[in-house]
């Protein structure tokens, strides 16, 4: 079945709150309104995640409203020392109380509690400012800083709207933007994590929808430079139906080059062995060399979330939409498997 590109604004729900208009787009043409959803609030999911890369470090910051269980989580990974620290603040029965916006391109997030302050600010020109101040992070350290994310001119995001074949009320809208230039400093205890022009990158992973009882999802992403060209990618798949629009694309200077199906080739007995990625249209050949991994488990009542992440570098080649072959080496990134049960 051919993929369906959406190029004009369409609602993801009809007048009865049923998911409609599935496919993919190069921007925010899928109009999402959580107030129209008819499924129980415990089934709704909304998450904003930013991932920042430098030659030395990775920082991941996520706000998740998962119905029964919400969270704010931060992970810091050191590539050279192979060290990592993670801290997660849980919000039982969040049920929409974190007020995440219905748009990936507008609307800010601000959360303040006793031990932390976090803000995702979106400006009119597409620039984003991430501010964080955590008085408790890991081993009694603090984490605070500000990072500015700047998109390349004319940047396009990969946005998909997918259903679940066996659950007519479940759907997911995903927006991925793996091309931000990141600048700023994050202070972790006595350590400074510096992101500078040409050596700092950022990725936005934005999700909204109503999930089924069990959801399994694979995702890999990375960004950086290929020679003098800024590149990034996002590839993934899961239990949702991606036949009308896959989550797979490569980006050159922020411009999207769409891929069809991508397969992850992994040794299930050892995730730290090299991974391979191939596409059914023979446009992508990529190797992932992991350096370390982390496992995250959150559980409350009938809800659980497990995420296994592997960090490392990606090398390979991709054929762009115009037929040009682009080779890339050592793009910093991550791959993960997420399983949620509700």
Give the tens place of pLDDT for each residue, 267-305: 999 999 999 999 999 999 999 999 999 998 887 666 788
Query: What is the tens place of the pLDDT at every residue in 145-192?
Result: 999 999 999 999 999 999 998 899 999 999 999 999 999 999 999 999
List, in order, residues 6 or more apart from 125 with CB less than 8 Å away: none
Residue 14 pLDDT class (50, 70, 90 cuts): very high
- Where in the chain are the domains? 10-341
Residue 73 pLDDT class (50, 70, 90 cuts): very high
**Predicted pLDDT of residue 239:** 95
Reply yes or no on whether the pLDDT at 138 is more than 80: no
* φ, ψ for residue 36, nearest 5 deg: -85, -10
The tokens of 105 are what? 């391109």
Residue 20 pLDDT class (50, 70, 90 cuts): very high
**Predicted pLDDT of residue 317:** 98
Which residues pair with residue 227 across a beta bridge? none
- Which residue bears the tokens 């050159």? 252
| Segment 71-86 mean pLDDT | 89
The tokens of 117 are what? 């302050």
Query: What is the tens place of the pLDDT at every residue in 210-226?
Result: 999 899 999 999 999 99
**Predicted pLDDT of residue 269:** 94
Q: Rounded to an integer, what distance in angstroms lies between the CA atom of residue 163 and that of residue 22?
A: 7
Is domain 10-341 given the CATH code 2.40.370.10 in the classification? yes
Residue 137 pLDDT class (50, 70, 90 cuts): confident
Of 88, 59, 48, 62, which Cα lies nearest the Cα of 188?
Answer: 59
Query: What is the tens place of the pLDDT at every residue in 39-54?
Result: 888 889 999 999 999 9
Percent above pLDDT 70 for the chain: 99
Three-state DSSP class for residue 271: coil
CA of residue 65 relative to chain centroid, distance: 15
């Amino acid at each position: 079945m051919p993929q369906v590109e959406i190029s004009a604004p369409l609602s993801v729900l009809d007048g009865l709150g049923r998911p409609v208009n599935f496919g993919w787009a190069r921007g925010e043409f899928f109009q999402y309104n959580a107030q129209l959803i008819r499924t129980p609030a415990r089934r709704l999911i909304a998450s904003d995640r930013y991932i920042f890369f430098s030659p030395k470090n990775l920082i991941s910051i996520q706000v998740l409203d998962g119905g029964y269980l919400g969270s704010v989580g931060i992970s810091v990974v050191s590539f050279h020392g192979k060290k990592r620290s993670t801290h997660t603040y849980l919000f039982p029965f969040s049920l929409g109380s974190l007020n995440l916006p219905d748009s990936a391109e507008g609307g800010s997030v601000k959360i303040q509690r006793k031990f932390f302050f976090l803000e995702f600010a979106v400006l009119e020109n597409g620039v984003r400012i991430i501010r964080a101040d955590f008085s408790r992070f890991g081993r009694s350290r603090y984490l605070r800083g500000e990072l500015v994310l700047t998109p390349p001119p004319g940047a396009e995001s990969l946005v998909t709207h997918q259903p679940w074949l066996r659950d007519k009320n479940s759907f997911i809208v995903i927006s991925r933007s793996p091309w931000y230039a990141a600048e700023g400093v994050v202070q972790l205890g006595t350590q400074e994590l510096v992101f500078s022009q040409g050596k700092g990158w950022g990725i936005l992973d934005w999700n909204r929808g109503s999930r089924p009882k069990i959801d399994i999802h694979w995702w890999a992403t990375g960004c950086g430079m290929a020679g003098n060209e800024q590149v990034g990618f996002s590839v993934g798949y899961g239990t949702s139906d991606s036949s009308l629009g896959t989550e797979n694309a490569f980006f050159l200077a922020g411009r999207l080059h769409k891929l069809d199906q991508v397969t992850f080739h992994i040794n299930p007995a050892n995730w730290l062995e090299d991974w391979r990625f191939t596409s059914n249209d023979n446009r992508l050949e990529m190797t992932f060399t992991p350096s370390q991994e982390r496992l995250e488990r959150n559980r409350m009542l009938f809800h659980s979330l497990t995420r296994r992440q592997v960090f490392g570098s990606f090398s390979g080649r991709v054929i762009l939409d115009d037929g040009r072959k682009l080779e890339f080496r050592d793009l910093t990134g991550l791959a993960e498997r997420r399983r949620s049960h509700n």
